[in-house]
Amino acid sequence: MISVKTPVPAGTDSAQLVTELQKHYNITLGRFECEQIPSYLLLALSLTVRDRLIERWRETRLQEIQNNPKRVFYLSLEFLLGRTLSNAVMNLQTENEVAEALRYYGTSLEELRQNELDAGLGNGGLGRLAACFLDSCATLGLPVTGYGIRYEYGMFHQRIEQGRQVEYPDHWLREGNPWELERPELTKRVKFYGHTEFYINDRGRKCARWSGTNDVLAVPYDVPIPGYGNGVVNTLRLWRAAATDEFDLEEFNAGDYTEAVAAKNRAEQITMVLYPNDASENGKELRLRQQYFLASASLQDVLADWVHFHGENFGEFANKHVFQLNDTHPTLAVAELMRLLLDDYLLEWDVAWRITTSTMAYTNHTLLPEALEKWPVRLMRELLPRLLDIIYEINARFLAEVALRWPGDTQRQQRMSLIEEGNDPHVRMAYLGIVGSFSVNGVAALHSNLLKRGLFKDFFELWPEKFNNKTNGVTPRRWLAHSNRKLAELITEAVGDGWQTDLEKISHLKDFVNDSAFCERWFQIKQHNKAALAELVHRECGVCFDTGHMFDVQVKRIHEYKRQLLNVLHIIHLYDRIKRGDAVKMKPRCVLIGGKAAPGYAMAKLIIKLINNVAAVINADTSVKHLLQVVFLPNYRVSSMEIICPGTDLSEQISTAGKEASGTGNMKFMMNGAVTIGTYDGANIEILEAAGGENFFLFGLRVEDIPAYRAAHKPNQIIEHDEDLKRVMQLLECGHFSLFEPGIFDPIVAAIRRDDDPWMVAADFRSYVEAQRKAAEMYQDRAAWTRMSILNAAASGRFSSDRTIREYARDIWQII
């Protein structure tokens, strides 16, 4: 690469870019230009782009200080940002200049960006949602700041070895991170351990303080979040844990050098690693520390800012602040805000409680019981004694309110208590979120309704006005304009500019479904994107996908509720049909599955192994490959999704009904013209309604069918009566996919055959196979499929996170 030097006209913006780039390359980084090392060129370009963000960043901050608007703080343990550079270049609308400047170096942004590591500070949907939300807030020019944790190690790197997932650490900061600005002057102290002391203050009031603590410093790093083409740059503030000085001093003075270092390490461990569990909690103490660390540092930061401008007068505070809690992970913020207002600023309980409950808003992300956080009271008593006092006080007052409303209903009081009683009592974090917030929202219509009818029924009866829905969305900048350049150009040609920030405009695409020239171009762009995806597949898996075949894709975290297993059963069924000579009417397809399993989730890891073993058998069989190819794509992440979703024909969204709160992968695929095969679950329902039933392959049980069905669920009978499923199970059981590893898939077979299989895999097999057959048939009709593809993209306007954020801003935050 590099070094054919075409001159750049002087005085243009690109000429200036070259000058700045050279300066960073030669001076900031101190490298010789003649070496032209791509990673340093990337760094130099990033610094050049960052310089342009910084002016706007300061301007945005200044404006905010001048206008003093109501501000929103989005608290999240995860921000799955992915790559930053080319997104920033796009949002600054300086792509042509950058392209021209890079031509001078004989390279391109496309080439350079491949060297950028993903910022993988999240597990999956929840973390990516936070990133899409920040993009929308900046693009809408809303005063929203993100608060999170600067994990030294993000989401692990997944490799597949002998068909199994192996995890490798993701040291994403090793080559330096140009997208952060350390702000040591804003460091905060976060307390742990110690005890509560009471004292009488000079006004004769009983006050509390948290003493004898072991403190950890929280050092902020600011990440710029540029809006699209509007000059706004908002802030994501990430905290890093550091040891305090006196910590060191004490130990050093005691002469124990190694203990001093060990103590320092313990403090810094808090932000060392992201917990790789999606939709499950393992109750580790370090995780609780992370949660409190984020809540405390962020609230101290906001309060310090308020006091700086307004003094210790909190009369207007509630009118000027909202804290949006992304799931229960940051809900300790409820108790922490109370603590700060009571102990540090000496407000009365009722005043502090009014401020807290009119500034906190909680978003629920799941109905899965294993994901509902509960922390042992004994752990909290040791680690956060003062917080536990406050939680008990909140609970006592809350239960008095419940008793007043439902006198004598002690069962209800037990059910609603923030404390789950028993031998080892626990704090129910979701309930703390509900009691402490003025708003509780789910993330898709079905999910929000299920919360009201099920999980939070008692609370809904008490406070119906708190509950609302905010259907998730994704940013059309990253997920369409940036990831699918060619389609974006065609869309602009068809519907005009402006859809990037007003995605409803994309609905005009439907005026083109009868324009055969347009349809042909749409189809050709999909083919182009499929070729790019096939290249990725070939590079990563060594398998050559035929772009003439339907690309059938399921990428997301590996979890039983998402039912990758159902997908595999279908693949085995297709294989079986080919092998038994029943393939005359079968249509060819390439299946791609990708996603990470939580390292401790044995069943999810076994499903990955099964996918790989099935893929190995199929891909090695030359009599099969003209009809069926299967790969497991390793290390699924944001930057790979940017290639995957534009190249997908069929999007698999096949969770057990009632289990997927929303899904957002489904929306990215839809925007890029994939057609969904899916269950009546989460936001699939809204996608189906928007696209029309004729443009969606619906199958499976519905939530309302499931209880009755579950009671009578007999998978063995289903298998016995379904010849296809029976043969699939036989292939699994006879070791066809585990010849040298006898019995390894027994747990999977047993899970499918269990009467109480929570995921109802056998129950949905037949209707899934039928829907798959229809999809494959339809794919053969190029005109009909292209029409469906266009109509899906045309109906995706609702699923822009701009729409979601407008709803948050209007209904919850009340800032527009």
Q: Which residues bind ligand PLP (CB under 6 A)?
A: 124-125, 128, 556-557, 637-638, 641, 663-665, 668
Q: How far is the CB of 672 from ligand PLP (least distance, A)?
A: 12
Q: How far is the CB of 759 from ligand PLP (least distance, A)?
A: 15
Placement of tokens 């993000």 in the chain? 154
The one-letter code for the residue type at 58 is R
Q: How far is the CB of 482 from ligand PLP (least distance, A)?
A: 13
Spatial separation of the C-alpha atoms in residues 655 and 660, rounded to whole Å? 6
Q: How far is the CB of 502 from ligand PLP (least distance, A)?
A: 22
* Nearest CA among 84, 72, 120, 136 for reference residue 473: 136
Q: Smaller CB distance to ligand PLP: residue 321 or 557?
A: 557
Q: Note if 164 is an active site residue.
A: no
Spatial separation of the C-alpha atoms in residues 282 and 275, rounded to whole Å? 9
Q: How far is the CB of 685 from ligand PLP (least distance, A)?
A: 14
Q: Note if 195 is an active site residue.
A: no
Q: Smaller CB distance to ligand PLP: residue 351 or 643?
A: 643
Q: Smaller CB distance to ligand PLP: residue 125 or 646?
A: 125
* Nearest CA among 564, 568, 129, 148 for reference residue 366: 129
407: Cβ contacts below 8 Å, ≥ 6 apart: none
Backbone φ and ψ of 387, nearest 5°? -65, -40
Active-site annotation holder among 556, 563, 573, 713:
556
Q: Note if 365 is an active site residue.
A: yes
* Contact predicate 505/495, CB 8 Å: yes
Q: Smaller CB distance to ligand PLP: residue 128 or 526?
A: 128
Spatial separation of the C-alpha atoms in residues 393 and 375, rounded to whole Å? 17
Q: Which residues are bridge partners to 386 per DSSP?
A: none
Q: How far is the CB of 363 from ligand PLP (least distance, A)?
A: 15
Q: How far is the CB of 371 from ligand PLP (least distance, A)?
A: 13
3-state secondary structure of 705: helix
Distance of CA 227 to the CA centre of its chain: 19
Spatial separation of the C-alpha atoms in residues 179 and 43, rounded to whole Å? 10
Q: Smaller CB distance to ligand PLP: residue 330 or 594?
A: 594
Spatial separation of the C-alpha atoms in residues 128 and 155, rounded to whole Å? 12
Would you list the DSSP string of 495-545?
H-TTTTT-GGGGGGGGGGTT-HHHHHHHHHHHHHHHHHHHHHHHHHH----
Active-site annotation holder among 637, 668, 713, 798:
668
Q: How far is the CB of 807 from ligand PLP (least distance, A)?
A: 19
* Contact predicate 610/100, CB 8 Å: no
Spatial separation of the C-alpha atoms in residues 107 and 696, rounded to whole Å? 42
Q: Note if 774 is an active site residue.
A: no
Q: Smaller CB distance to ligand PLP: residue 483 or 619?
A: 483
Q: How far is the CB of 382 from ligand PLP (least distance, A)?
A: 35
Q: How far is the CB of 595 from ligand PLP (least distance, A)?
A: 8
Spatial separation of the C-alpha atoms in residues 440 and 464, rounded to whole Å? 10
Q: Which tokens in the block code for residue 273? A: 């690693």
Spatial separation of the C-alpha atoms in residues 663 and 679, rounded to whole Å? 12
Q: Smaller CB distance to ligand PLP: residue 659 or 668?
A: 668
Q: How far is the CB of 309 from ligand PLP (least distance, A)?
A: 38
Q: Note if 786 is an active site residue.
A: no
CB-based closest residue to ligand PLP: 665
Active-site annotation holder among 50, 240, 428, 562:
562
Q: Note if 549 is an active site residue.
A: no
Active-site annotation holder among 48, 271, 366, 664:
664
**How deeply is 810 buried, as exposed, middle or buried, from its count of CB atoms within 10 A (0-12, 13-18, 19+)?**
exposed
Q: Smaller CB distance to ligand PLP: residue 146 or 663?
A: 663
* Nearest CA among 195, 212, 204 for reference residue 346: 204
Active-site annotation holder among 447, 557, 573, 625:
557
Spatial separation of the C-alpha atoms in residues 383 and 193, rounded to whole Å? 4
* Nearest CA among 326, 433, 296 for reference residue 375: 433
Q: Smaller CB distance to ligand PLP: residue 118 or 301?
A: 118
Contacts 24+ apart (CB under 8 A), 737-745: 737/572, 737/610, 737/613, 737/614, 737/617, 738/613, 741/613, 744/606, 744/609, 745/606, 745/609, 745/610
Output the CA torsion sign for 308, 311, 312, 313: negative
Active-site annotation holder among 365, 386, 478, 637:
365
Q: Smaller CB distance to ligand PLP: residue 388 or 558?
A: 558
Q: Smaller CB distance to ligand PLP: residue 14 or 472?
A: 472
Q: Which tokens in the block code for residue 151? A: 């994990």
Q: How far is the CB of 604 from ligand PLP (least distance, A)?
A: 13
3-state secondary structure of 552: strand
> Sheet containing 589-594: which strands, arranged edge to edge?
628-633, 589-594, 550-555, 650-653, 675-678, 697-698
Catalytic center residues: 365, 556-557, 562, 664, 668
